[in-house]
Structure 1
Amino acid sequence: MTKPWTLARQFLVLQLVLVSLLVGAGAAVAYHYAGSATDDKARQAVVAVAETVADSPSVTAALATPDPSRDLQPYAEQVRADTAVDFITIMDTHGIRYTHPDPERIGEPFIGNIDQALAGHAFTETYTGTLGPSVRAVVPVFDEDGDVVALVAAGITVEAIAAEFNERLLPLAAVAAAVLVVGVAGSYLVSARLGRQTRGVAPAELRSMFEYYEAILHSVKEGLVLVGGDGRVVLCNDAARDLLGLPADVHDTPVADLGLTDELAAAFTSPDARSDELHLTETRLLLVNSMPVRSRDRRMGNAVTLRDHTELQNLTGELDTVRGFADTLHAQAHESANRLHAVISLIELGHVDRAVALATDELETAQELTDRVVGAVAEPVLAALLLGKLSEASERGVDLVLTADTAMQDSGEGVDPRDLITILGNLIDNAMDAAVEHAAERAPTVTVTVRSDAGELFVRVADSGPGVADGADIFRRGWSTKPSENGRGLGLALVGQAVRRYGGGIEVANGIAPEDGGPSDGGAVFTVRLPISSSR
């Protein structure tokens, strides 16, 4: 099987054909122009010579003598020699020659047309006479009264014109050959460069590779963005546009104009490699990897990959909640075992009444707490979350208080249970951390209000911590009041993202009045309002 021509070879052949055609066409036009110019030059020359001779006073004077040829023949030959025409023939009005390059032809009739000249008009023609084909001009000779008394014919043979034309062909051929050589050399150089850039791949292979890579690029679930060294988007696949919420055509758009967060835009254009960074957009949590791309010693830009971490983060949040439940159950089991040992010991010591009182008191307390939460919150996921947080708060020495107006029906109207875990779980965790961190100043307390009415989910979490500093961008990924640790600074950012996804609002204040269920000198107060009557 014959190997298909490479793109470089096809391009070379095409260039050679085009150059040859262009040079050939140019040479043909130049050839035609040179021939036409030579013929025009010859006609202008013979007209000028013939008119000059016809206007000469010596010609008119010689025509008045009995033997005009005696004076006109030497004169005509002298002019012919000076002007390089091939013949000058002076004749009477009947076409009988007075002069001729061959003296033996004097007295013979002129071979050619003279009618227009007899009518007083000069003209040119190509005609075959005694000297062969020639370009000639015939002009009238006028006397003082304006009558035609004789005719003058001057001509240049076609052979002489051809000789002059051939002299012009040599430089024309040289120029055409030089242009052809330059064109071929240029085509070869361009073809060689193209061959290096395409690595000798045939067009069919290039098309197949492009279609294959294009299909893969737009079918992969992972987002891919190529950013040039000038900070402009070179390529963006469908998954990346979907993850970033970009329009269909962002090619050559500066990264700064894509509407990304400052941190994400910095990762796109960073000269250093970025690995597995979490970045929060308006609706998604993205895992971003950015790798600088270099060609030899030149930095070409960055290859950025994006993976949707939103679902994974939600599942991680649920897993953390379940782990918290498990830890709480483990702690409660340990505590229950201690109390059980105490009850058994009391029975063995004969204090049955005290043993019964101790057992029933613990059961009544746990049941009362459970009944209160389940009675106020019909949403099972939220109820489970609150029970777990109550147990966790008890372990950490935090007084977690549910306000009396806490009441919520099933959230099937529009709020995903996972988003409830994200919002309320992170707010309570941050509140307990703040309360415990400042337990030396005041008793750690967290107050929670959750209610749904009038198509709105109302969530308020207040703590006894120090509050939030003015101007703090607390919903930015990475913001935290704690020492820098892995995983810090993401909880409130996820809360803000979930609230924005529902078109809700979140307010942050310091301190809450006692009548609203919080401590009089309370710390941070987070209030969330979500419209739950509209579908997501």
Structure 2
Amino acid sequence: MLRKTTLKTRMILTLGLLGALQTLLIGGFAGYYLSESLYEEIGQRALMVSRTVAATPSVIQGVRARDVDALNHLAQRLAQTNKARFIVIGDHNAIRLAHPNPDRLGHSMADDDGDDGRRALIEGKSYVARALGSLGETMRGKSPIEDPATGEIIGIVSVGYSLDQVEATIRRYNFTLYGVVGLMVLVAVLSAIVIAGRFKRAIFGLEPEEIARLFQEREATLQSVREGILAINRDGIITTANRAACETLGLAPDTRLAGQPILDILPESSLLSVLESGQPDFDREVWLRGRQMVVNRLPVRQGDEIIGVVASFRLRDELDQVSRQLTRIQQYADTLRSQTHEYSNKLHTIAGLIQIGAHDKALALIGSEVSDHQSLLHLLLEAVPDPVIAGCLLGKYNRAREMGLRLDIDPDSQMADIPATLPREQLVSALGNLIDNALEATFQQTGQGGVVRLSMTDLGAELIFEVEDQGPGVPENAQQRIFERGVSTKGEDHGIGLHLVQQFLNRWGGSVTVENLTAGGSRFTLYLPKQPEEKKGL
């Protein structure tokens, strides 16, 4: 089976033939117009000379007198002067009185071309005729000779110009035309090669069939992706959208997004800002059409020019469900591990006291342990009814005891008015990171016996969490930088926890402050608005 012709070959053949055809058509029209113009010009010249000769007094007098010698001499002189092929003069019967060939004298002028000059002799009109006579093919101008005294037509003048010159001019033109046609075909082929090469590079060397197959694969891939996908061009017009985009945005399944301005579909969209800045944006949590989503936005570049933006997005709820489960499992695991370790130590201590007979001390230790946990549980049940946050604080309390530290929760704390839309797992992650940092800083500075204090309040329009430690404090020049990824006062392989806290605050519209305490240590204060500003969408 023969291999199909490539796109480059097809373009070269098409452009080459098109260039040749255009050149031939234009050249043919120009040649026809040139020949007709030349014929008309020579005809008008013959007609003008014939009129001039017919009005010459010596010609009129010679025709009256039928002076053949004088007329022939005059006709030859006038023919040379006007560069005419010939000048023939006849009487009122079209009998030749002057002719370049003496043998033709006395014969009818109709013998030359079949035209006896009737229009000039009878109708008195001057006209142009093209004929093949005894002197070759010529363009002839014929005019009547009138007697000025009587107005009577007494003869006729025929002035002829050879068409050999016209034919030679046309042949030269055709020769030039054929050369131009050949040159144009060559230029067209070379241009086609250059254009086809650039075109092939622009489409990455693919053939049309391959492009069609890739387009079908692209459509199938887009529709198979569960995430919503939208793409816009440099004018903010949607060029691509899959079915999942309509479903995720809560639009009707048959909504046609392609070709619509993005701001008409999503007035709160931020894709145009990405189009202007050219900066990609990954895993951004946004509110869109009343739904919380996770969005990735990536500019599309052609060379150094940004030609569009592609966005992928999915509901935050789907990720929250998995994240919530993992967070709770981790909390339960941390709590159980801490409690297991701590109670194991306590049980060994109680067993030792019993063995040595110190029953009173064993009972006191048991009572103290029960009292501490009962007071903590009572405080958490009263002040923090949310089980996720309460579980987190209980786990951090046990971890502090495992490290030989104490986590004091202000008994006046209150954290019950938490917005339902506030993601608990993100709040727990942020609060847990602050407490963990405080425990590590305190242990590093004081060893066992240090205290970390936590107070909470939901009064007013904000949720406020204060975490105080007994660590070395935070240098003033680092108090803003510690929230950047990879920046930490603990050394390498740190600087993630506070960065996650800052990301959560940015999404929710909250803030955090850092201050060093006079007695040593530092205080981190977390502010979370109960009604955050709605973030922009895609």
When normalised by structure 2's length, the TM-score is 0.71
Letter of the aligned partner of 1:489 in structure 2?
G
- Distance in 1 between the 2:451 and 2:55 partners? 130
SS at match of 2:488: coil
- CA distance in 1 between partners of 2:240 and 2:452 (Å): 46
Cα distance, 1:198–1:408 mapped onto 2, change above 3 Å: closer
TM superposition shift of 1:99: 1.6
State the match for 2:501 in structure 1.
Answer: 495
Matched, 1:204 2:212: no
- Residue 452 in 1 paired to residue 458 in 2? yes
What amino acid does structure 2 have at the position aligned with 1:475?
F
Residue by residue over 1:445-471, the C-alpha shift from the partner in whole angstroms, topping out at 9 and shown as x without a partner, is 432223435675332323344246267
> Cα distance, 1:332 vs. partner?
0.8
Mean Cα deviation higher: 24-33 or 156-165: 156-165
- Whether the 8 Å CA contact 2:487–2:495 is kept in 1: the answer is yes
Q: Give the superposed CA RMSD.
A: 4.8
CA drift at 1:382: 0.8
Q: Distance in 1 between matches of 2:488 and 2:103?
A: 124
Residue 390 of structure 2 is aligned to residue 383 of structure 1: yes
Task: Give the 3-state SS of the residue equivalent to 1:71 in structure 2.
Answer: helix
* Alpha-carbon separation, structure 2, partners of 1:371 and 1:322: 19
SS at match of 1:101: coil
- Corresponding residue of 2:346: 336
**Alignment partners' CA distance in 2, 1:194 and 1:9:** 12
Distance 1:205 1:154, change over 3 A: same
2:435 corresponding residue in structure 1: 428
Residue in 2 that maps onto 1:180: 185
Q: Residue 390 of structure 1: CA displacement?
A: 1.3
Alpha carbons 1:455, 1:533 under 8 Å: kept? no
Structure 1 residue identity aligned to 2:388 = V
| Partners of 2:297 and 2:342 in 1: CA distance | 41
Q: Which residue of 2 is the match for residue 154 of structure 1?
A: 159
- Relative to structure 1, the CA distance from residue 404 to residue 173 in structure 2 (aligned partners, 3 Å threshold; closer, same or farther) is same
Does 1:28 find its partner at 2:28?
yes
Alignment check: 8 A CA contact 2:16 2:186 kept: no
Q: In the superposition, relative to structure 1, how do residues 357 and 173 fare at CA in structure 2: closer, same or farther (>3 Å)?
A: closer
> CA 1:193–1:376 in structure 2 vs 1: closer, same or farther (change >3 Å)?
closer
Partner in structure 1 of residue 255 of structure 2: none
Aligned to 1:7: 7
CA distance in structure 2 between the aligned counterparts of 1:525 and 1:74, rounded to whole angstroms: 128
- Equivalent-residue separation in structure 2 for 1:319 and 1:476 (angstroms): 28
**Paired amino acid for 2:37:** A
| Counterpart residue type for residue 73 of structure 1 | N
1:483 match: 491
Counterpart of 2:257 in structure 1 is none
Matches within 5 A, 1:316-327: 321-327=331-337
| Conserved? CA contact 1:6–1:203, under 8 Å | no
Q: 2:380 aligns with which of 373, 379, 389?
A: 373
Tell me how far apart the structure 1 counterparts of residues 122 and 270 of structure 2 sit (CA, whole Å). Answer: 86
Report the Cα offset of residue 438 of structure 1. Answer: 3.9
Instruction: Quickly say closer, same or farther: Cα 1:248–1:127, change in 2 above 3 A.
Output: farther
How far did 1:165 drift? 2.9
In the aligned structure 2, how far is the partner of 1:120 from the partner of 1:236? 81
Q: Distance in 1 between matches of 2:492 and 2:150?
A: 118
Cα displacement (A) at 1:73: 1.2
Alpha-carbon spacing, 1:202–1:71, altered in 2? closer, same or farther (3 Å): same
Query: Could you give the per-residue CA deviations for residues 34-83 of structure 1, whole angstroms, max 9, x where no partner exists?
Result: 3223313322442354355446565356446x333211213323444565
Shift of 1:385: 0.7
Q: Which amino acid aligns with 1:212?
A: E
1:393 deviates by 2.0
Q: Which runs of 5+ in 1 are unaligned?
A: 226-234, 265-278, 295-303, 513-518
Q: Tell me what 2:176 maps to.
A: 171
* Aligned with residue 138 of structure 1, among 125, 130, 142: 142
Q: Distance in 1 between matches of 2:26 and 2:181?
A: 8
Would the alpha carbon gap of residues 305 and 528 (structure 1) be closer, same or farther in structure 2, given more than 3 Å must change?
A: same
Distance, in Å, in 1 between the alignment partners of 2:150 and 2:401 is 139
For the 8 Å contact 1:414–1:532, the answer to whether it is kept is no
Q: Partner letter of residue 100 of structure 1?
A: H
Q: For residue 299 of structure 1, what is the aligned residue in structure 2?
A: none
Tell me which of 353, 360, 363 is aligned to 2:367: 360
TM-score (norm 1): 0.71
For residue 386 of structure 1, report the CA deviation from its aligned partner. 0.6
Distance 1:415 1:182 in 2: 70
Report the residue type matching 2:455 in the other structure.
T
Return the offset for 1:189. 5.9
Quickly say closer, same or farther: Cα 1:39–1:200, change in 2 above 3 A: same
- Residues 17 and 185 in structure 2, CA contact (< 8 A), matched pair in contact too: no
User: 2:121 touches 2:155 (CA, 8 Å); kept in 1?
Assistant: no
**Structure 1 CA distance, aligned partners of 2:451 and 2:120?**
127
- 2:511 corresponds, among 483, 493, 506, to 506
Change (3 A) 1:490 1:120: farther
Aligned to 1:86: 85
Instruction: Please give the per-residue CA displacement for 1:218-271, whole angstroms capped at 9, x wherever unaligned.
Output: 85579999xxxxxxxxx999899x9xx9756799x56xx1455xxx7xxxxxxx
Instruction: Report SS of the residue matched to 1:413.
Output: coil
Mapped to 1, the partners of 2:374 and 2:466 lie a distance apart of: 25
1:144-170 C-alpha deviation (Å, 9 max, x unpaired): 779576543212356774455334322
Change (3 A) 1:248 1:218: farther
Tell me whether 10-19 or 194-203 shows the greater mean CA deviation. 194-203
Structure 1 residue 25: deviation in Å? 1.1
Choose the corresponding residue for 1:469, options 471, 476, 482.
476
- 2:434 corresponds to which letter in structure 1? L
**Relative to structure 1, is the Cα distance of residues 219 and 58 closer, same or farther in structure 2, using a 3 angstrom cutoff?**
farther
| Cα pair distance change 1:166/1:286, threshold 3 Å | closer
Q: CA deviation at 1:380?
A: 0.9
Aligned residues of 2:94 and 2:116 also touching (Cα < 8 A): no
Cα distance, 1:125 vs. partner? 3.5
